[in-house]
Amino acid sequence: MLYYEPSVLYSILKNHRAKVAILTDSNTEEVCLPYLSEIIKPYMAENSVSFYSVQAGEQSKTLHEATKIFEKLQNWEFQKKDLVLVLGGGMLCDLGSFCASIYKRGLRQFLIPTSLLAMCDAAIGGKTGVNLAHVKNSVGSFYPAEGILVLSEFIKTLPRKEVMSGFGEVIKHGILQSQKDFLATIFAFDFYKKHSIIQEEVLINAANFKRKIVEQDPWEKNVRKILNYGHTIGHALESAWLMEGKEIPHGICVLYGILYENQIAVSQGILHMDQANFIKSFISNFIGEFSMKIPSKYVMESLVLQDKKNEQDGINFSLIQDFGKPMIDIYIDKTVVLKALENEIDF
């Protein structure tokens, strides 16, 4: 369940009669934990709360870091009834939820996303995961949180590139809904650039779109697969750049993925070139400052072939025919994919 009022958290904790631990990363521990501590100050005055922080960044999303969290939970003598609060962005929501899902075969968990990306996408839907040898989310589970508290106040703490990363997923949601929603997102980002403020209705619309899709298909057997649009290429690029020591924000990688996957859709007669160019005209302007050289096609081939969505020959994509008309389980031959990746995006 999605909540937007801070008082909800204290009400939940007040009725909780077991142990509580708060997971943070090195950024949210410094910037967001003081704000959260004020919200639950009455609870903390009367109850013991455990804390653990990981280093911020994708490099912490590993089985090694998960093991360290397991050891902490064991030292704190956590049991299934105990509660883990995860205070962080997409990386920590994935990692913390993974640990909560595995330890004792499932602890109670509550997510407090601190990035725009996590608020509108990563924290919603119960996907957990860690990376394995640079391959994104190779080890994971489905484990929905008891609740998700979205506090837009935290967006003010984010560096600009992290806000842009979050807008990457919001833009994807807009394309999947309609041309009107896509343009509303673009204009919302223009508003942000001028005023450094996120229009809350845009955040809520994106979060509710993801929530409704997940409610229809919690285990990603059908309609939820549309949310993978941009992610087959996007995840491969994110992993490849990480192997090169470049941590490019997830949402930016997704936008690159959308541009390349639209090229593939055009080549297969699925998407009209005019629509692909229309989307590109806005996205290219959006991510131009993140212009990156595409990694070796051999590295990309290895990564896209390892994509967890693949279930038969070829590479599994979720593509679009038009705004608001997504398609799922479209298998494309790897030679078509690699040919598309040979063409650098012209900004």
Domains 2-156 and 160-341 share a fold: no
Confidence band for 322, pLDDT divided at 50, 70 and 90: very high
Query: In the chain, where are the structural domains located?
Result: 2-156, 160-341
Q: What are the backbone dihedrals phi and psi of residue 250, each rounded to the nearest 5 degrees, phi first? A: -55, -50
Q: How many CA atoms lie within 13 A of 74 on its CB side?
A: 8
pLDDT at 347: 59
Q: What angle do CA 149, 117, 32 make, to 5 degrees?
A: 55
Pairing of strands 325-332, 315-322: antiparallel
Q: Does position 338 have pLDDT exceeding 70, yes or no?
A: yes
Cα distances (Å, whole numbers) of residue 32 to 19, 51, 203, 241, 250: 21, 13, 19, 28, 21
Least-confidence region, from 34-38, 188-192, 335-339? 188-192
Find the mean pLDDT for residues 177-193.
Answer: 89
Q: Any idea which fold 2-156 has?
A: Rossmann fold (3.40.50)
pLDDT at 308: 66
Q: Does position 74 have pLDDT exceeding 90, yes or no?
A: yes
pLDDT in tens, 126-137: 999 999 987 888
Mean pLDDT, all residues of the chain: 92
3-class DSSP state of 57: coil
Superfamily name with CATH number, domain 160-341: Dehydroquinate synthase-like - alpha domain (1.20.1090.10)
pLDDT in tens, 187-232: 888 888 777 788 888 899 999 999 999 999 999 999 999 999 999 9
pLDDT in tens, 276-297: 999 999 998 788 778 788 877 7
pLDDT at 298: 63
DSSP 115: S
Percent of the chain with pLDDT over 70: 98
Instruction: Tell me the pTM.
Output: 0.90
* Alpha helices, H only, the chain: 7-14, 26-31, 33-39, 41-46, 63-75, 90-102, 116-117, 160-177, 179-195, 200-216, 231-243, 250-267, 273-287, 297-305, 334-341
Q: Which residues partner with 127 through β-bridges?
A: 142
pLDDT in tens, 100-128: 999 999 999 999 999 999 999 999 999 99
